[in-house]
Amino acid sequence: MWNEECREPVMKTRIREFRARYQMTQADLADAVGVRRETIVFLEAGRYNPSLKLAHAVAKALGTTIDQLFLFDDDFPMDVVLEE
């Protein structure tokens, strides 16, 4: 699945699932990582691809790893060659 507005791949996340484990609200998580609650809303909805720094902070706050928290759609072409 691709975000048609910016042609970036859309990630699926397990943020909501991990928040539930720790009984954290979106506001709690936002405070823990230093962003607005709306950023967490967009992350959970797959409407925002975080920076590596933010992804790391969210994963750390939820006691997990980035690769456990953020999932890429299997349909993405993984053999794309980036132009230099």
On whether the CB atoms of residues 34 and 42 are closer than 8 A, the answer is no
On whether the CB atoms of residues 36 and 30 are closer than 8 A, the answer is yes
What fold does the segment set 16-68 form as a domain?
434 Repressor (Amino-terminal Domain) (1.10.260)
Mean pLDDT, consecutive 10-residue segments, the chain of 84 residues? 51 92 97 98 92 97 94 58 48
Give Cβ neighbours of residue 60 (< 8 Å, ≥ 6 apart): none
Structure pTM?
A: 0.75
| Residue entry with tokens 């720094």 | 53
Q: Where are the domains of the chain?
A: 16-68
pLDDT score for 46: 86
